[in-house]
Amino acid sequence: MRVIYNEQMADLADLLGEMAGLAGAAMERATQSLLQADLGLAEQVLSQDDRIAEMITDAEERAFALLALQAPVAGDLRQVVSAIQIVNDVNRMGALAQHVAKVTRRRHPGHALPEAVNGYFAEMGRIAVSMGASAKEVLATRDPERALELNEEDEAMDDLHRHLFTLLMDRDWKHGVAAAVDVTLLGRYYERFADHAVEIGRRVVFLVTGELPAGTDEK
């Protein structure tokens, strides 16, 4: 029974890592679509919805089967509960990448972003993709120290997000209300993507150590 449990848990961890990798790849394409006003790339991101939904259902079914059939306790139970929570975080990361793609589609053939903020979103996209890859890595390695390093990447994302608001509040903003709304929403999507990656890191730390590190601030 123990061998079966370990094999099933390893398969679930691999699936979660694959999902995190897909979320990062989706955000990379979504960012490119946003910066280039590329409808084709945006549609690629949106077309993955069914595949991601199937993977989420698969992961949830595997996790609940472990609870029902293996009756885990103590550390094993912690692993399964953490996996269920991670499914939700990865799901939200994928959804946020799709939100970015939807903005591109809604504004096409125009650009959703004023040129003045392109650099901010290029960097936010880079950080988001990096954090998606890091989340995949820590799910595979279960390295608590590496998991905590996601907080540092999140701080860089938060700094960029704050700078965006500085631009929006500037009296010299000349791009109109619609652009301001898009920038505000998009900034939030990237910030929340990073926050969910941090949450995955926190849950990996809990899974390994039994202690949950301090959470991210709700924004």
d(CA 18, CA 21): 5
pLDDT reported for residue 75: 73
User: What is the count of structural domains for the chain?
Assistant: 1
By residue count, the chain amounts to 219
pLDDT reported for residue 138: 94
Residue 217 falls within a domain, yes or no?
A: no
Q: What angle do CA 189, 194, 195 make, to 5 degrees?
A: 95
Give average pLDDT by consecutive 10-residue segment, the chain, 219 residues. Answer: 77 91 95 97 93 90 82 76 92 96 96 94 97 94 94 95 91 91 96 97 90 65
pLDDT reported for residue 139: 93
pLDDT reported for residue 189: 98
Residue 216 falls within a domain, yes or no?
A: no
Residue 214 falls within a domain, yes or no?
A: no
Range of the domain at 10: 2-209
Residue 215 falls within a domain, yes or no?
A: no
pLDDT reported for residue 1: 57
pLDDT reported for residue 109: 96
Residue 45 falls within a domain, yes or no?
A: yes
* CATH number of 65's domain: 1.20.58.220
Residue whose C-alpha is closest to residue 53's, from 21, 87, 80, 81: 87
